[in-house]
Amino acid sequence: MTVLAVVVSLLVLYFLPSEGSNGGVNSVFSKEGYLVGVGRADCTGPIAEVPLMGYGSLDQSGAGIISRQYCRSFILAERKNNTKRVLFVVAELGMMSQRLRLEVMKQLKDKYGDLYSHDNVILSGTHTHSGPGGYFQHTLFLITSGGFIKPSLTATIKGILKSIEMAHQNMVKGHVFISTGLAENCQINRSPLSYLQNSDSERHRYSSNTDKEMVVLKMVADNGQEIGMFSWFAIHPVSMNNTNRLINSDNIGYAAYLFEQEKNEGYLPGKGPYVAAFASSNSGDVSPNTKGPHCINTGEPCENMGNYCPIGGAKMCIARGPGEDMFESTQIIGRQLYLTAKEIYMKASKEIDGPIRSAHRWVDMSNVSVQLNSTHTGKTCKPALGYSFAAGTIDGPGMFNFTQGTLEGHPFWDAVRDALLVQPSDELVECHKPKPVLIPTGELTKPYPWHPETIDVQMVTIGSAAIVALPGEFTTMAGRRVREAVKEEFEIQGKAGMDIILSGLCNLYTHYIATYEEYQVQRYEGASTIFGPHTLSAYMQLFQGLARAIATDATQDLPNTPEPPCLNITNLNFLPLVIDAKPLGRKYGDILQDVQPAYKVGETAEVHFIGANPRSSAENMATFTFLTVEKYDNVSKSWQVLYDDASWDTRFVWKKGKRSQSTSIIEWRIPKTTGSGMYRMRYFGHSKELFSPVQAFNGSSSTFGVSN
């Protein structure tokens, strides 16, 4: 630093307004600003017996809870004309589903008329793999969810609507700042061989095979009060592996939790006015398991493509890290993302200004013609999954002996497919080449279509920031191409310098979108690019069309296909009936194994109760907690609740036993900062015995001491 630089810095500091609650930099607003509202609501679904959405494993059903799932919304409106607005929702779910979107939009229409429409509402999912499924209407997703799970759908709809309602009611005059920064050491590309298929010249324009840039929007009210932070980053929330059965929001959920805990001091988790959300981006091939793939039985590094584990093959090849176990890994990655977001947030000084616009259209993605170059056209296909879909990834391997990179079908599995499902048409097979078709979902319609074909393509702009709503998981390079194509289209239309934000897993789920080159080697992401090799080119063309329509004020003229129907699904629920029982002469909530009389900070306090199926508590999940950790206050002579089941320091584990009996375990990982004193842990539940109504009950551990 030169002397001049020091002098200049001192002068700048001297003339800056003093640091206030808003970080100083933003207390002078140079732009007109918007109307800004944020909201957060609990949208946790059933925490037991419903298969978790993500790894596609029916064995991996819920059996307790580490943290709650939240839905978070922001609304931005023009001050001059507040009907020009956008609503963006981040839900801590495996992904958004078409069913959810249709139902939420219907209820928004009933409540707010035309204020919120398909055009200006983006619903996104964070992609946690540790939330219950069952909120879908297409058969493939119903199969991996244990059916159509009404309590799951209902909790999510309620939570999303509640968070929107809060944002709607909380709107104040405010300002929005945008900033970006790099998050290092929290990602690896899990399909590097696919990535290498992209041309040298394209790859050489980037320093990494993942996008490390995080985008942050900071929202501040006119009076200087900070109200919210929404961010986007490309990472799979799969720090939790497919053996986890405790509901939680994974690494980016933990980041949101830490951010909100800091801003909402004194509130229990998930409470308090400040809202921080971490949304997905082009994370298709991005793993958080930074130690990379190793054979879990022998410890050797493996790569899951031509280089399998010597014992057990491809399904032993699993990535992990950076922590000792998946829980620690989740927290390390989550903390890193939180710290990065905070740093970016602190220095956010570029205020967004200008009109708010939005565009949405329905597209039949099974039939889009793509102009590849001046002489050639291509076409998308009816949906189908390739062989390597069944291989899974290094974050969660698949079944049997399927391996990534499979370019040819196998007579055995082809015969199984033809017998159990349907033989794919020649047209479908031809269209998807070189993908060998394993599940011809586009030709399966019973009992309901297996995959959506009418797809949401959507974009909103807030001044110079454009949010592109990606209807699936775009790989790193696929996302970069969309970002460039959209940016370039805006430039052509005279709007240079737009910030293009890629928002992943929006509106519905269509699996992956790999580049044409990546598709050729058919790793998991390519095999899961369901509309065929030209899927990405089709989306680029469609998003450019939206950018053009927004830039030229022609969104009314966008072509559309009819809105897809809400399918009438009844009686498609494969969950066991809820029936509780308890040992003779005892009560639900009785202690089976008590706490120790005393613990030191850093230890884990644990108590076991006679339990009941947590599904009976699903009705009022949002206002209910399975547990509390309470401290005795010897001044007021009463118990103070310090934690509930939303805290990452507590766990509620439910174990189903014999003869309908069950055990509920409550654990508290006593933080180092805990003050010494007397504590207890309480358990709340609902029992449902055969021929009896649901009954609320509770239990408590003995009092125990905590010391430093």
Least CB distance to ligand NAG at residue 305 (A)? 14
Nearest approach, Cβ of 185 to ligand NAG (angstroms)? 20
Residue position matching structure tokens 């095979």: 209
CB of 416 to ligand NAG, least distance (A): 9
Q: Which is nearer to ligand NAG, 192 or 409 (CB)?
A: 409
Torsions phi, psi for 188 (to 5 deg): -135, 155
Q: Is 576 exposed, middle or buried (0-12, 13-18, 19+ CB in 10 A)?
A: exposed
CB atoms closer than 10 angstroms to residue 604: 11
Query: Shortest CA distance to 619 belongs to which of 151, 153, 270?
Result: 151
3 state DSSP class of 85 = strand
Q: What is the secondary structure of 212-237 as a DSSP string?
A: -EEEEEEEEETTS-EEEEEEEE----
Q: Answer yes or no: 616 catalytic.
A: no
- Rounded distance between C-alpha atoms, residue 305 and residue 296, angstroms: 16
Rounded to whole angstroms, the Cα distance separating 528 from 196 reads: 18
Strand partners, 38: 74
Q: Which one of 99-107, 251-259, 372-380, 619-627 is the stretch in contact with ligand NAG (CB under 6 A)?
A: 372-380
How many angstroms separate the CA atoms of 702 and 681, rounded?
Answer: 8
Nearer to ligand NAG, 79 or 111 (CB): 79
Q: Least CB distance from residue 678 to ligand NAG, whole Å? A: 8
Indicate the length of the chain as a whole number: 708
Whether 456 contacts 101, CB under 8 Å:
yes
Contact 147, 574 (CB under 8 A): yes
The torsion of the CA quartet 405, 409, 415, 417, rounded to 10 degrees, works out to 50
Kindly tell me which residue out of 9, 21, 81, 223 binds ligand NAG, with binding defined by CB under 6 A: 81
State in angstroms the smallest separation of the CB of 649 from ligand NAG. 17
Q: Provide the CA 539 distance to its chain's centre, in angstroms.
A: 21
Pairing of strands 70-78, 85-91: antiparallel
Q: Is 677 in the site for ligand NAG (CB under 6 A)?
A: yes
* Interaction mask 223-252, ligand NAG, x per CB under 6 A: ------------------xxx---------
Which CB sits closer to ligand NAG, 560 or 698?
Answer: 698
Q: For the window 284-323, what string marks contact with ligand NAG as x by the rule CB under 6 A?
A: ------------x---------------------x-----
Least distance CB 411 / ligand NAG (angstroms): 8
- Binds ligand NAG (CB under 6 A): choice among 201, 570, 620, 673: 570
Strands 650-656 and 437-439: unpaired
Q: Report which residue type is found at 14.
A: Y
Cα–Cα separations (whole angstroms), residue 509 to 69, 86, 126, 360, 679: 19, 21, 12, 16, 45
Site for ligand NAG in 467-486 (CB under 6 A): none
Q: How far is the CB of 442 from ligand NAG (least distance, A)?
A: 11
Give the range of 48-56, 142-150, 229-237, 374-382 binding ligand NAG by CB under 6 A.
Answer: 374-382
Query: Which tokens in the block code for residue 385?
Result: 């999954």
**Distance in angstroms (rounded) separating the CA atoms of residues 97 and 451:** 11
> Which CB, 267 or 400, lies closer to ligand NAG?
400
Per DSSP bridges, beta strands 61-65 and 213-221 are unpaired
Which of these is catalytic: 97, 145, 287, 616?
287
- Per CB under 6 A, which region of 33-41, 77-85, 218-226, 470-478 contacts ligand NAG? 77-85
Report whether 395 contacts 236 (CB < 8 A): yes
Residue 71 beta carbon to ligand NAG: minimum distance, rounded to whole angstroms? 25
Binding residue for ligand NAG (CB under 6 A) from 185, 223, 307, 698?
Answer: 698
- The candidate with the shortest Cα–Cα distance to 247, out of 52, 40, 395, is 52
Tell me the C-alpha distance between 86 and 102, whole Å: 17
Letters for 323-352 (x = contact with ligand NAG by CB under 6 A, - = none) are --xx--------------------------
- Identify which of residues 2 and 374 has a Cβ nearer to ligand NAG in the complex: 374
The C-alpha atoms of residue 683 and residue 362 are separated, in whole angstroms, by 47
Binds ligand NAG (CB under 6 A): choice among 57, 367, 425, 464: 367
Number of residues in contact with ligand NAG under rule CB under 6 A = 26
Site for ligand NAG in 116-175 (CB under 6 A): none
Among 412, 434, 484, 583, binds ligand NAG (CB under 6 A): 412
CB 380: neighbour CB atoms within 10 A?
Answer: 26
- Which one, 268 or 296, has the nearer CB to ligand NAG? 296
Residues in 247-276 that interact with ligand NAG by CB under 6 A: none
- Residue whose pair of structure tokens reads 């499979």 in the numeric block: 406
Q: Are 218 and 226 in contact (CB under 8 A)?
A: yes
CA–CA separation, 613 and 601 (whole Å): 31
Binding part of the chain for ligand NAG, among 276-284, 366-374, 429-437, 469-477 by CB under 6 A, reads 366-374
Q: Which region among 27-35, 190-198, 368-376, 474-482 touches ligand NAG (by CB under 6 A)?
A: 368-376
User: Which residue, 117 or 208, has its beta carbon nearer to ligand NAG?
Assistant: 117
Q: Is the dihedral of CA 417, 418, 424, 429 positive or negative?
A: positive
Pick the binder of ligand NAG from 201, 375, 556, 636 (CB under 6 A).
375
Residues in 592-651 that interact with ligand NAG by CB under 6 A: 634
Report the candidate in 388, 452, 428 with the shortest Cα–Cα distance to residue 191: 388
Nearest residue to ligand NAG on Cβ basis: 325
- By beta-carbon proximity to ligand NAG, the closer residue of 500 and 530 is 530
For ligand NAG, the closer of residues 78 and 351 by Cβ is 78
Q: Which of 632, 654, 630 is nearest to 643 (CA)?
A: 630
Q: Binding pattern to ligand NAG, positions 164-203, x when CB under 6 A?
A: ----------------------------------------
Report the site for ligand NAG in 481-540 (rule: CB under 6 A): none
Q: Tell me the catalytic residues.
A: 287
Residues at the contact surface with ligand NAG, assessed by CB under 6 A: 81, 83-84, 241-243, 296, 318, 325-326, 367, 369, 372-376, 400-401, 410, 412, 568, 570, 634, 677, 698
